[in-house]
Chains A and B, each alone.
Chain A
Amino acid sequence: MIKSITSQQQEYFDNLIQEYLKDITEFPETNKEEAIRVCQDMAESMNVKKPIIIFGKNPYETILICEMSKVIFGNSCESKKDSQLGSQLGSQLRTQLSFQLESQLESQLDSQLSFQLESQLYSQIDSQLDSQLYSQLWSQLDSQLDSQLRTQLKNINDNWYLSLWWRYWDCFYQFGKHIGIKFDNKKLDLLNRFLKHCYFVVPHEGIWFVSENPIKTNWNNKKQLHNDNKSCLEFKSSLDVPTFEIFCLNGISVPEYLVKTPESKLDINWFLEEKNADIKAEFIRKYGIDRMIHLGKQIDTYENHNNDWWTKSEYKLIDMSAIFESIDYAPHLYMKNQTTGIYHLEAVTPDCKNLIDAIGKTRWNGRDLNKYTTIDIK
C-alpha cells in the first residue's frame, strides 16, 4: 500500500496535470495513424469487427458523413448492432477499462493519499474539462443536431460518443503508474491512447467515424471558454465557412449574434426577446451596464432601505419602458451577482412601485418579505 509520495513525485504530478491541461485546452493536431490504430485495438478489445476509420473535420461533419454513408450504402452500412455499439464503447471505457483500473488503484493506494491527489486533480482539471469543454461540446452538438440534422435526416442515429471527460481519470492512472501502482498495463495503455487520439467517435459495425481535434480553443483568465468576437472552439471545415462552432462569453454558451455583433450595434430588442438570465447578463456586460440603465429611469434604490443583502447586491428598481414601443411603465430589477460581479436586469410586474414590491410580488412569487430574513453567506 502506497501511503505517501515524495516531493519529486508531487512535482511530477503537478507537471503531469499541466501537460493534460495543455492537451485539453490547446488540442494537438490529430494523429490519424495513431487514431486508426487505437480504434482498431479498442474494437478488438470489445470483440467486434475490425473497423476501417473515416475522419470528419469536426463532430458535426463526422455525424453527417456517417449518416450520408447510410443513405448511399443503405443497409450494408448499418446493422442492428450499430445502435448498441456506442453504448458498448461507453461500457468498455467505463466498466472494462476505467473501473478495473480504478479498483487496482484503490487497492494499492492509501485512501487518504488518494483523496488528496484527487482533490488536486479535481480543482485543477475538472472545471475546465467537465463544466466547460465536455458540457459545451456536448450541448452544442446535441442542439445543432437537433435543430439541423434531425430535420434533414429523419432517422438519425445519435450513436456518438464523446470520450473527453475520461481524461481526468486517465491522468490519475498515469500518475498511479509512475508511483508504482501495478495496473493491467494493456488496459491502461489502451485507455490512455484511445482518450488521447479519439475524443469523438461514432462506432458502426466495421466502420468507425472519428472527428479531428479542434484547431483552436480560446479561454479567459478564469479558465472559462471565451472569445469576444468569434467562436471559442474552432474546428476545421470542409466548406469555405465553418460548419461547427461554439460561441461562449465567460463560459456561458451564447448565440452567435451576441459574440459577433460589435457592442455599438447590439439591438436592445434582442435583449427583450432573450429568455435566459445568463445570456441576458452577458448582453448587459457587452452592451455596458451604464449605457443600459441610462435608457431607463430609477424608481427606487437599496440606499432607501436598511437591508444588508440588498446593499451588497446593489438592488435598484428601474423603469425601462423607454426600450418598449407601447408600454408606459416597465419596472426592472437591477442587481449584482455577488460572486461574479456580473449585473442582471430582470423585469418585474407593472404593479411594482418599489423594491419591496419587486422582491416580494415578483422575485419571491407573492411571498411576504416581512416573514423572512435573508441569510448572508459571507
Chain B
Amino acid sequence: MNKLRHYTHGEVNFFETNMLPNNLSKVEVKDSFYIVGESETHGNDHRVAVLDKQKVEFFEDEKGTLYMRNLTETNVYCPNKDRHDTVTLQPGLWEIDKSMEYDYLEQELRAVVD
C-alpha cells in the first residue's frame, strides 16, 4: 500500500489525505499567503504562498481543523528564512495540524507554540 505523504515545517505538519471531510467551510484568503502557524516570538509566521486563489484553497471544519487543496506546487515558508527552509508541497489534499507536546506541570497535552 502506498503511504500518504507528510511534510513538516517547524511545528506545523501537513498530512496528506485521500479525501476532504464533508461539511467544511471555505476559508477566505485575503493576501498572497495564508498563515498556518502564528509566531509569538519573532514575527516569523509559517505561511503558505497563495499565488493563485483558484489553485490553492483552504477549508475548516467545525473544530477549527484546517485543510488545504492545492492543484499546483505550493511553497510553505517563513518570512525570515533563517528559521526554517522553504518546503514545496506537491499538489494534493492536506490536513494541517500543529505538533503536540505534554506539559508535566499542568499534566495536559497542548499544541507546540513558537
Contact = CB atoms under 8 A, between A and B. Distances in A.
Contacts of B5: 372-373, 375
Interface in B15-41: 15-16, 39-41
Interface centre among B83, B101, B110, B114 (most CB of A within 10 A): B101
Contacts of B110: 275
Interface in A202-229: 222, 224
A275 B103 contact: yes
A37 B105 CA distance: 56
Contact of B79 (A131, A136, A350): A131
Nearest to B10: A337
B7 interface: yes
Interface string B36-64: 00011111100000000000000000000
Chain A at the B interface: SS class: mixed
Given A372-B6, A373-B5, A277 B82 contact: no
B85 to A, nearest CB: 5
Contacts of B7: 374-375, 377
A273 B84 CA distance: 25
Interface stretch (A26-34, A77-85, A247-255, A296-304): A247-255
B15 to A, nearest CB: 6
Contact of A372 (B4, B99, B100, B101): B4
Interface residues of B, number: 39
Contacts of B105: 272-273
Interface string A268-294: 000011011111000000000000000
B73 interface: no
A116 B69 CA distance: 31
Contacts of A275: 103, 110, 113
Given A347-B103, A374-B8, A276 B85 contact: no
Contact of B109 (A131, A362, A375): A362
A208 to B, nearest CB: 27
Given A370-B3, A371-B3, 17 more contacts: A127-B81, A131-B80, A132-B42, A272-B105, A277-B112, A324-B104, A327-B104, A337-B10, A339-B83, A348-B101, A363-B99, A363-B101, A364-B13, A372-B4, A372-B5, A374-B8, A377-B87
24 contacts: A127-B79, A132-B42, A134-B43, A251-B83, A254-B41, A272-B104, A273-B105, A275-B103, A276-B114, A278-B41, A330-B104, A346-B101, A346-B112, A363-B100, A364-B99, A365-B100, A367-B15, A372-B3, A372-B4, A372-B5, A372-B16, A373-B4, A374-B6, A375-B7
